[in-house]
Amino acid sequence: MRDTVGVKLESINVPPEVAAARFPGVGRRLGAYLDRLDHVATWSVAVRAEAEGRIRPSRLFGDHVKYDLTANDIDRTRRGMKHLAEMHFLAGATEVVTGVYGMPEVLRSLDELSRYDQASVDPRDYSMVATHLFGGCRAGSDPAMSVVDPQLRVHGIDGLYVMDASVFPTNTGVNPQHGIMAVATVASERLC
Ligand SMILES: Cc1cc2nc3c(=O)[nH]c(=O)nc-3n(C[C@H](O)[C@H](O)[C@H](O)COP(=O)(O)OP(=O)(O)OC[C@H]3O[C@@H](n4cnc5c(N)ncnc54)[C@H](O)[C@@H]3O)c2cc1C
């Protein structure tokens, strides 16, 4: 799905308090979901977003990161969610909690999958987290468009290098830690 839709479907482990924040309802209804936590599978749709963002210093929050998902990003998200729901119904799930504002809170059969096609295109209607942020010190040969050069030297400052995820020019679409470690290892060995 990474090469076709542009998403990766992955199971994730979340603590019960995080799961609780994602279930519909309050009181007894929420309690009923929590009672069945050992029958719950938590999955995510990792989207290779085409949106590009901005980082600004913020007095309140340290660095302020902002980016707006494109219509294409939301379309990929919806398609990924639909595949996930289908996969789980085919594996025997009796309920899929959608987590999308404006959609039914819970789907109960394959017949309802088409609801994803009509789901909102507004990014604010989706619960999302951003854990793979890159490009704050993007590498490139043009100082107007990048912070470091292809050898990871900061443009215009001798002896200053950046060797972490911030030099990636784009997002990777996959879990990045191996790539980050490889870049940092190769770049630091060149310094020796
Ligand atoms: C919840 C979550 C889950 C993730 N899961 C995965 C996963 O399963 N697989 C995967 O590959 N990637 C995962 N990632 C992404 C991955 O963790 C990051 O992309 C990666 O750690 C970035 O590496 P980095 O070295 O660029 O920055 P970081 O790992 O963030 O390191 C930056 C370091 O700089 C330090 N620092 C910051 N400011 C200062 C300062 N002023 N002075 C001195 N030190 C400072 C920080 O304390 C930190 O130690 C996940 C990220 C999150 C948030």
Mean pLDDT of the chain: 92
Answer with the one of 85, 110, 125 that is the final residue of a domain: 125
The predicted pLDDT at position 79 comes to 96
Render pLDDT for 34-80 as a digit per residue (tens, 0 to 9).
Answer: 999 999 999 999 998 899 888 888 888 788 888 889 999 999 999 99
Is any atom of ligand 1 closer than 6 Å to the C-beta of 183? no
Question: 80, 47 in Cβ contact below 8 A?
Answer: yes
With cut-offs at 50, 70 and 90, classify the pLDDT of residue 172. Answer: confident
DSSP three-state, residue 132: coil
- Which of 95, 125, 155 is at the close of a domain? 125
Residue 1 counted as domain residue: no
Residue 191, class by beta-carbon neighbours within 10 Å (0-12 exposed, 13-18 middle, 19+ buried)?
exposed
Which of 180, 183, 188 has the most ligand 1 atoms within 8 A of CB, as the residue to mutate? 180
Query: For residue 164, which atom of ligand 1 is closest to its CA?
Result: 26
- Say if residue 120 is in the same domain as residue 155: no
* Structural domain boundaries, residue 140: 132-192
The answer to whether residues 161 and 153 touch, using CB atoms and an 8 Å cutoff, is: yes
Same domain, 108 and 20: yes
Q: Is 165 in the pocket of ligand 1 (CB under 6 A)?
A: yes
For residues 138-173, b (16+ Cβ closer than 10 Å) or e, as one string? bbeeeeeebbbbeebbbeeeeeebbbebbbbeebeb
User: Is the pLDDT score of 186 beyond 80?
Assistant: yes
Q: What tokens were used for 13?
A: 């482990």
Query: Same structural domain for residues 145 and 120?
Result: no
Instruction: Calculate the alpha carbon distances from 81 to 96, 100, 167, 181 in Å.
Output: 10, 10, 31, 31
The answer to whether the CB of 96 falls within 8 A of the CB of 42 is: no
Q: Give distance in angstroms: CA of 163 to centre of ligand 1.
A: 12
Indicate if 112 and 142 belong to the same structural domain. Answer: no
Same domain, 16 and 91: yes
Q: Please indicate, yes or no, whether residues 118 and 185 belong to a single structural domain of this protein.
A: no
Residues 106, 150: contact at Cβ < 8 Å?
no
pLDDT of 164 reads 96
Residue 2 in any domain: the answer is no
Which has the higher per-residue pLDDT, 131 or 79?
A: 79
Number of the ligand 1 atom closest to the C-alpha atom of 179: 11
Given 68, 103, 125, which residue is the final one in a domain? Answer: 125
Q: Are 99 and 128 in contact (CB under 8 A)?
A: no
User: How many independent structural domains does the chain possess?
Assistant: 2
What separation in Å is there between the alpha carbon of 131 and the centre of ligand 1? 9
Residues belonging to the active site = 132
Task: Say what the pTM is.
Answer: 0.86
Asked if the structure places residue 54 within a domain, the reply is: yes
Same domain assignment for residues 154 and 87: no
Does one domain contain both 106 and 188?
Answer: no
Report which of 55, 30, 46 is spatially closest to residue 83, judged by C-alpha positions.
Answer: 46
